[in-house]
Chains A and B, each alone.
Chain A
Amino acid sequence: MNTPAPLRWSRRNVLKSAACGFGALALQTLLNDRAYAGDIVPGKALHHPAKARSVIFCYLDGGLSQVDSFDPKPALTRDSGKPFRMKMEPTQFNNNGNTLGSPWEIKNYGKSGIPVSSLFPHIGECVDDLSVIRSMTANFSEHTNANYFLHTGSGLQGRPSMGAWFSYGLGSECRDLPGFIVLNGGLVPPGGLDCFNSGFLPASYQGSMFRPAAEPVANIAAHEKIPGKQRRKLDLMHRLDGMLVERAGKQDALESAIANYEMAYSMQTSVPDLMDLGKETDATKELYGLKSDNQHTRTYGMQCLIARRLVERGVRFIELTCPDTGNDRWDQHARLKKGHEENARMVDQPIAALLKDLKSRGLLDSTLVVFSGEFGRTPFAQGSDGRDHNPFGFTAWMAGGGVKGGYVHGATDEYGYKAVEGKVEMHDLHATMLHLLGVDHKRLTFRWGGRDMRLTDVHGELIKEILT
């Protein structure tokens, strides 16, 4: 690794990038164009005081079963093995079996006494910090649509991911890291990288994928073998660029492209620095499960720990995707017990550690942690020992900045099939997340294709009940 040293940059550029973050300069150019101007000036105008400044989204790829985790149902246990008593909606596989009781035990945790299954004993301990939303709904029964819907507010491909919306709306507080980072544990959700793309927003806001690997970010490693060689190249580039600027005059596009290299160059240092956990204490590593005998727990633990480090660095939106435990994500169409158990073992301790760690560092108040899959699972069996997709009622939880702890919002019916109380739609979840970061979802718009586009389309209502 070369010894990093700042390049020579104009003070003006540095100030600009510090204030507005990535891509803001390019966006200014866009904003001059009436047709593409949004309602707000990104990075500057929050609509109201924010409770949180960063989001960590723990995405449970494939769909966690609500009735086996945070929405236990005695009726399900009672009727297990019997024909399901409610009308069944069409499912992905239409191979619907009998009512299937949960194979896990339930325990009440914390002062709030919220029940959590034995899949999540560590998160259970944090339950007094969670707002458990038991009445989530999605519009789609297929992974891909549902993933796009969860991530972008539309079931179709090509729309900006929520992370892109957050960084478009709020910019980044970090000068040498992108505003929207996906910590990729190994799995890429159905729908592919488009779940994290910027859609019609400028590319500046697309999610950057970080992996827990030797090269955590694409093209982050310099290949020059001789120390200082890259610096020398960039110095030459800078000199020549300077001459170009002299001839071409003051042009924003040119100057921001030049400034861009500063960020890229510093990312070469900041990313390895971010990924280097050497300075974390043993206790911290222990807490996150980095010493676990389970390799997936170790991987996910590292993701959670890096997520905290990203929050500390001011990154706006961090998404964690799951490592692959070999169970086809959380998508247990069969062998529910094995699949959910191994997946839960992977995330339970690290996520709990993240919550505790953030809290002990005083960061939980300004960080919003969101935990959700794209949908839940059916309370009746698929085949004999699996569960099919269920978008009609499932559980997500939020913790941290601006949400109540130890609170349960909404309810499903007695079998945990459909949301019947306090129904929450994906757009409501998005609206609430934006709200907590000081953004009115109706006013965060981007003019595209003749419409002022929103993350929440024409929908979205705050889940007021969970707000502090």
Chain B
Amino acid sequence: MRCLNSRSGWFLLLLSAAVPAIAADSDLAFFENKIRPLLVEHCHSCHSVKAGKKKGGLQLDSRGALLTGGDNGPAMVSGKVAESLLLKAVSYQDPDLEMPPKERLSAAQVADLTTWIQAGAAWPQEAAPKASGKDHGGPVAIDPKVHWAWSAIRAVKPPAVHDSAWAQTPIDRFVLAKLEDAKLKPAPEADRRALIRRAAFALTGLPPTVAEVDAFLADTSASAFERVVDRYLASPAFGERWARHWLDLVRYAETRGHEFDARIANAWQYRDYVIRALNADVPYDRFVQEHLAGDLLAEPRLTTDGADEGILATGFWFLGEMIHSPVDIRQDEVERIDNQIDVMGKTFMGLTIGCARCHDHKFDPITAKDYYALGGIAQSSSYRQVRFENERHNRAVAERLWQIRGVRTPALMRSIEEALTPAIVTTDKLLLAALEVDGSAGNGPVEIAQRHGLDLPRFAAWLKHLMAVADDPRDPFHAWGRLMRVPAAQRAEQVVPLQREIAAARQQALDRWNQALADSTVLVDYARQGEPFLPDGVAFGDAATSRGTLRFGGDPQKSVVRLTDRTAAWFDPLWLRLSPGPDSATDPADLAMPRAGRTLRTRTIDLKEGPVHVLMRGKGLLYAAVGAHTLVDGPLHRALVRKVDGKVGEWRWERMDLSAYPGHRCHLEFTADSEDFAVAMVVQRQDAPPLPPSATLPPLDTVHDTIEKFASAQRFAFTAAFRDTPRSPAQNALIAWALEHPELMSGVDAALFRDFAKEQVAITNDIRDKSRLALGMMDGDGADWRVLIRGSPRTPGPVAPRALPESIFGKQPAITQGSGRLDIALRMTDPKSNPFVARVMANRIWHHLMGRGIVASVDNFGALGTPPSHPELLDHLASRFVADGWSVKRLARTIMLSNTWRMATTADPVQDAKDPGNVLLHRGNLHRLEGEAIRDALLALSGRLDSTMYGPSVPIHLSDFMTGRGRPNGGPLDGNGRRSVYQTVWRNFLSPMMLAFDTPIPFNTMGKRASSNVPAQALILMNDPFVQQQAEHWAKRVCDQVPETPARIALFYRMAFSRDPLPAEAAAAQEFLGATPDGRAWSDLAHALVTTKELIFVQ
């Protein structure tokens, strides 16, 4: 409602300007006969107080209501047909605004409405209808001051209980107190075999080995179970198990879904990050901060070899689905951001912030403004593939390099001057000699060079250059080239007019350039103060490179040295060697190029009419992130990507035809693919502007009256260029030119820079040019979003400054720099200002261990969520979680060492009836294993489990039923024996076994899996070739280990169920096997055991 209120002030103004004139009787009659019936019949069902409907915020049952209008603005302006939206809507001119929606009014009806509005929209004096009931979309249902989830976490003292012997831990006392209130008794402790099986599956997702069970049974000390828990917590399998829980929250997948199921390059790096982080027990607040701002945290979390762990977490933002060719690219962006906010809100805060997209949240105190405030944060950050293994390392190298270059520059400049001096001092001599060449006998280049003692190859190069540049006004020696073309006899008299003419032409070019810029929308100008400089990595430095800065080649051993002739974003050729490390994919389709570490992005741009032109040089890739659309594939948006190339050393304008996107927001990304790459500016206009004027020599503000003086002046221009500080643009350009033309100037050779080159090499030897890539975020310049009325990009409302939801965090200082992610990451994880993060995670851990959250709706702590069954216990866990350093493992340990966790699951009809659903926890919950755990358990039993961790996913096996567009090559039936967490998650080719056992479809946060029951589950365990294959391996393994039938049967039981068979079970198995079982019979027994419920239910 906030968004509407802020508009109403404006409406009031409008209203006062439109006081109804006294209407003539005939006008009123017209209204009553034609207009009112029309409104009642065709409009009021959706737009009237009587119908209780206000679609689009609009009511059409009083004159005031029409003038006020709805979300799109006033419905009519009295007397102004063209400005009246109502008429626009009924005339079906705009496909987004066609009313009535189902049936167009007749032409006569439209004419009547037009006539009526034209004539002043007469309406009799009458009271506007009043609503009787409550206004829909009114104030929020939750008062944050009183709703439990908004209240601060309180460290509650555990209550007193009667059975204090049972209630050993605070958790037990909280649980028991409620049980005692309800006249319930806690169930007895589960037997030790059940306990270790439960613990193993809970913490590792695998069955305990026979040895583990035996060791536990043999350990009679009081701390035996504690040791079991500690061992499983320390197992690498813990991270694999709990990572899968986490991946459910962030809709983890490795493809984009939709039509062609394009790959998400390197998504699995995120999965590995989560596994490592959980195994390392990274404090959860830090873990959250890394997800929100891992790229921005002051203190990175580095592995021993320098890889940046935290930055990998930001990849979760980009794991969503994506469409390859959206016709409405803006709508598409809105949907993607919606998913990001929704996932972020639910995952970390247990809040359905996504519900506030179209209107203020109906139940929770989350406004649409809050939603778009977060949206602005997401929108202010862009996608990239990050060189996480050595970005930090290479930055350190670059900084040393920048430092040494800074220190050495003055000396280097002096060396350059010295080196060029011999060439410079002969400039005038060369120029004058060049004029003597006329092709006549004795006046050929060879003779003249000899005559003046000039080096012949160099003289020849000069001649060639001068003849060529007569047509190139941008060359410093253009004037001399022109002079050479003048017949020798006329040169003396032409030298002055020629200089004047060229000066005038130059001035014209300058004027044209300035005028062109004045006529253009300059979107980006790296020479401009305050232009945001946003590089991915260090290859463009940390700021635009000023004109006149020394520039070095890609090979630090060699002496290629240049001077920048413009202030621009210059690529440092040293970094051209950066390349993706092993197992690293590039983005699909049109962006398939190694861009990481070599890319620069611009500020956020609001596109206007016409194409965009980039003033640049070198070879590379230009990409316009319109609507942050990165899956560029297909004809519709091909214009967003261009591969470009041009002549070395020359600036040029590259055109990007973004004329289809006026009004869209975007930024550009430039990726260097040659040493010469630089970008100076970006403008938007119809035609490319002229090229910027270049330096001339000598400065033509002075006219030299003789050829000799003119020649000398050219020479002195060089010396002045080295002498003057600061150098003028032309002087810089001149030195730059000299360095670009060694064939003319010679002089600057390796020897000069030998020592410097050594220094450089020593540093650059440290560069790590290969890095694995991962998806990650990159901070842009901050750009607030607007509230989109009804969630539609076509109806932008007021600006929503970037911030966290006000009902929790209050008013926050404005974010002035960048996206603001770092701010929100720190604020969100401060338990004093935000109870949600700690409570939500404590509850998730409880949910996974107990089978039901204290708040059962684990992703929703709002009004529509389930209230906590044990609110004090939740606060106890949350505060303990924070106090224990946000340690997931320690909280899990605390829970598992309680008597509450250790209760048996055996049903008790009397107690169950008193506590249906076991909400009060009078016993343990029976737990149906997840698809992943079932598959992993089968591999563990068969001995085929390959415990290799991490790395690219194993392609899942594709059955004949898994068809559709973009069908990839499938993998082996047994997934190479790797754990399920390492099998691919291809959105359009999800594993049928996982789907049948409720692995969520990756589209949104799913903290609580369903536990459904479908025949497909039984069919899989009965008939799937993978299951049968593993049963066979299992049988063989058992038979190889023990020879006797009873021992084999016992071993099956001990492996699968962590217990010995009961006599009746052994007898049943024996009966099944028959007197002389063969190998087949053992496989069949193994298979039958796989289908028993005990395998997939943990007690």
Residues of chain A having any CB pair with chain B under 8 Å: 22-23, 25-27, 29-30, 32-36, 89-95, 140-145, 155-159, 178, 188-194, 197, 199-200, 202-204, 206, 208-209, 211, 213, 215, 217-224, 229-230, 232-234, 236-237, 239-241, 243-244, 247-251, 253-254, 256-261, 263-265, 267, 392, 418, 420-424, 447, 449-451, 461
Contacts and interface: CB of A to CB of B under 8 A. Distances in A.
Contacts of A189: 964
B926 A248 contact: yes
A197 B1001 contact: yes
19 contacts: A27-B1012, A144-B259, A199-B1001, A203-B1012, A219-B1019, A233-B1084, A234-B1022, A234-B1091, A249-B907, A249-B909, A253-B926, A257-B1013, A260-B1013, A267-B1019, A423-B98, A423-B102, A447-B864, A449-B346, A449-B354
Nearest to A451: B355
B963 interface: yes
A25 B325 contact: no
A144 B1092 CA distance: 40
Contacts of B964: 188-193
A203 B995 contact: yes
B335 interface: yes
B1065 interface: yes
Contacts, number: 283
A221 B1018 CA distance: 12
Contacts of A140: 327
Contact of B1023 (A36, A191, A223, A392): A223
Interface residues of B, number: 103
Contacts of A158: 321, 1001-1004
A260 B1013 CA distance: 7
B813 interface: no
Contacts of B908: 249
Contacts of A202: 998, 1010, 1012
Nearest to B1020: A219
A51 to B, nearest CB: 22
B736 to A, nearest CB: 44
B862 to A, nearest CB: 6
Given A237-B1092, A267-B1015, 12 more contacts: A27-B1012, A92-B327, A159-B1003, A191-B964, A192-B964, A194-B988, A204-B1014, A243-B1065, A260-B1017, A421-B103, A423-B103, A449-B1005
Contacts of A251: 905, 907, 926
A22 B352 CA distance: 31
Contact of B257 (A29, A157, A224): A157
Contacts of A89: 95
A178 B1004 CA distance: 26
A260 B1093 CA distance: 11
Given A33-B856, A233-B1087, A248 B1099 contact: yes
Given A240-B1068, A249-B908, A450-B860, A260 B101 contact: no
Contacts of B1028: 223
A261 B926 contact: no
B426 interface: no
Given A194-B987, A451-B355, A203 B1002 contact: no
Given A190-B259, A257-B1097, A243 B1064 contact: yes
A229 B1093 contact: no
B323 A142 contact: yes
In this complex, the member of B102, B859, B909, B1097 whose beta carbon has the largest number of chain A beta carbons within 10 angstroms is: B102
Given A208-B1016, A236-B1068, A248-B1099, A423 B1023 contact: no
B781 to A, nearest CB: 29
Contact of A260 (B907, B912, B1014): B1014
Nearest to A208: B1016
Given A142-B327, A219-B1019, A206 B926 contact: no
Contacts of B862: 450
B965 A190 contact: yes
A156 B1011 contact: no
Contacts of B906: 247-249
A220 B1019 contact: yes
B860 A191 contact: no
A203 B996 contact: yes
A243 B1062 CA distance: 9
Can you list the 8 inter-chain pairs with the closest CB atoms, starting with the nearest? A158-B1003, A249-B907, A450-B352, A192-B988, A264-B1018, A35-B857, A188-B964, A202-B1012
A218 B992 contact: yes
A89 B95 CA distance: 9
Interface in B851-905: 856-857, 859-860, 862, 864-866, 905
B1097 A254 contact: yes
Given A192-B988, A257-B1093, A203 B1010 contact: yes
A324 to B, nearest CB: 10
Contact of A449 (B101, B1004, B1015, B1089): B1004
Contacts of A257: 928, 1013, 1017, 1093, 1096-1097
Contacts of A190: 258-260, 964-965
B261 interface: yes
Main secondary structure of the interface of B (DSSP, over half): loop
A229 B1084 contact: yes
Nearest to B1057: A244
Contact of A29 (B261, B998, B1011, B1089): B1011
B635 interface: yes
Contacts of B636: 90, 92-94
B125 to A, nearest CB: 35
Contact of B864 (A29, A35, A208, A241): A35
B150 interface: no
A263 B1018 CA distance: 9
A23 B1013 contact: yes
In this complex, the member of B354, B989, B1004, B1099 whose beta carbon has the largest number of chain A beta carbons within 10 angstroms is: B1004
Contact of A211 (B346, B961, B1010): B961
Contacts of B110: none
B917 interface: yes
B955 interface: no
Interface in B97-135: 98, 101-104
Nearest to A240: B1092
B332 to A, nearest CB: 9
Contacts of A232: 1072, 1084
Contacts of A34: 856, 866
Nearest to A391: B327
Contacts of B959: 218
Contacts of A223: 1023, 1025, 1028
Interface string B901-930: 000011111001000110000000010100
Contacts of B259: 142-144, 190-191
A91 B354 contact: no
In this complex, the member of B92, B323, B1002 whose beta carbon has the largest number of chain A beta carbons within 10 angstroms is: B323
A171 to B, nearest CB: 14
Contact of B1003 (A92, A156, A211, A258): A156
Contacts of A192: 257, 261, 964-965, 987-989
A220 B1023 contact: yes
Contacts of B926: 248, 251, 253-254
Contacts of A234: 1022, 1088, 1091
A341 to B, nearest CB: 24
Nearest to B989: A192
A449 B1085 CA distance: 43
B1094 interface: yes
A257 to B, nearest CB: 5
Contacts of A449: 342, 346, 352, 354, 859-860, 1004-1005
A93 B635 contact: yes
B257 A90 contact: no
Contacts of B1088: 233-234, 236-237, 240
B1024 interface: yes
Interface string B294-331: 00000000000000000000000000010101111000
